[in-house]
Amino acid sequence: MILTDTHTHLYLEHFDNDRHEVVQNAIDKGIHYMLIPNIDSKSVDGMLSLCDEFPENCFPMMGLHPTDVKTNCQKELKIVEQWLEKRKFVAIGEIGIDLYWDKTFVKEQNISFRHQIALAKKHKLPIIIHSRESMKEIFDILDDVHTSDLKGVLHCFSGTEKDAHKAIEMGYYLGIGGVVTFKNSNLKNILREIDLKHILLETDAPFLTPTPFRGKRNESAYIYYIAEKIAEIKGISIDEVAEITTQNAKNLFKF
């Protein structure tokens, strides 16, 4: 069984004491691929050294995270551009709009999101979309810039069933993580209506830890519990979930 964690921040300080063990443990448990979204210019070095240490397993993305879009975003976007010229990345991410934490830079968030979508088109890369309290704003922009070759994933999908169908119709995948294991989550009902070929698995480690470890640090090995839950919802085997979702990830990210 080969599972893929399509969204994991393993370079963060939460893993400073045991990063190598955490990654090796995930690989040993069958999570063979880990895709690593960037946050800002300060996270690049840690991300790349991890990917260099595990070149068969860990693949980097490049982008400026919406909660780190501040007054200096033009400078940050320049750095993203420079990195994209310098080496290979599997996606532009994570990018998007976050109106939950702070609305001060909403204008800059919009500009940065559009700018990085343009970079994705230029470099022919998929986009990792972070959306929090901003589904409408995200869809307004995606509608506006839509082209058939622009692909990506709605990371940590938290929209309605209607949003899910709209995203899929436009060519996007839904990123499903620990939230699906939470008792009160509506995601189960949405997943019943969606073909697995539109789903990617992700942990968003160290955040959003699935049951039975909710409240503790999340790690890529816990993809197993997300896959297990989806298998239960869909009434299929976990091997089938692993096979389909890893193939989806390969189709989108071409690693």
**CA separation, residue 20 to residues 9, 27, 37, 206, 222 (Å):** 13, 11, 18, 15, 16
In the range 204-223, which residues lie near Ni ion by CB under 5 A?
Answer: 204
Q: Which residue is nearest to Ni ion (CB)?
A: 204
Site string for Ni ion, 166-205 (x = CB under 5 A): --------------------------------------x-
Q: How far is the CB of 179 from Ni ion (least distance, A)?
A: 13
Closest to Ni ion by CB, 208 or 234: 208
Q: Which amino acid is at 125?
A: L
Inter-residue contact 178 to 203 (CB < 8 Å): yes
Q: How far is the CB of 155 from Ni ion (least distance, A)?
A: 6
Closest to Ni ion by CB, 5 or 204: 204
Closest to Ni ion by CB, 98 or 204: 204
Closest to Ni ion by CB, 182 or 207: 207
Q: How far is the CB of 37 from Ni ion (least distance, A)?
A: 5
- Residues 48 and 76: their CA atoms lie apart, in Å, by 17
Q: How far is the CB of 181 from Ni ion (least distance, A)?
A: 18
Closest to Ni ion by CB, 76 or 204: 204
Footprint of Ni ion (CB under 5 A): 204
